[in-house]
Amino acid sequence: MFMTYSEYGRKTAHCVHCGSADTRRRMTKVRIAKSEENRFESMSDDLAGLEDLEDDPKALGRAMRKMGKEMGEELPGEFDEVVDRLEAGQSPEEIESALPDIDSGV
């Protein structure tokens, strides 16, 4: 049963299967909004170690995915494709040759 914060404690919850009032509260995922400054600060920390990932495409892909999530914006589908390929172990050079139009915005 879903309850808003204002309903909690005012509305009695009953089990949908047995009708019991002996229920426990379970929290849903919480999103915390970050300011643009905080997002960029988090990303700059991640960017500091990227040069060490040059020879590790999987780690580079994980770092890029994390930075993409920090952006908090919808990124183009090409971003996900490149990150998926990196996480699969493909080198940036292999990706560039397989997707020659990716950097020209085509």
Tens digits of residue pLDDT in 28-70:
776 666 676 776 676 666 566 666 677 888 888 888 888 787 7
Domain that holds residue 80: 53-104
Q: Is the pTM of this model over 0.75?
A: no
Does 38 map to a domain? Answer: no
Q: Are 42 and 52 a contacting pair, CB within 8 Å?
A: no
Q: Which amino acid is at 21?
A: A
Does 2 map to a domain? Answer: no
Q: How many domains does the chain have?
A: 1
Does 17 map to a domain? Answer: no
Does 78 map to a domain? Answer: yes
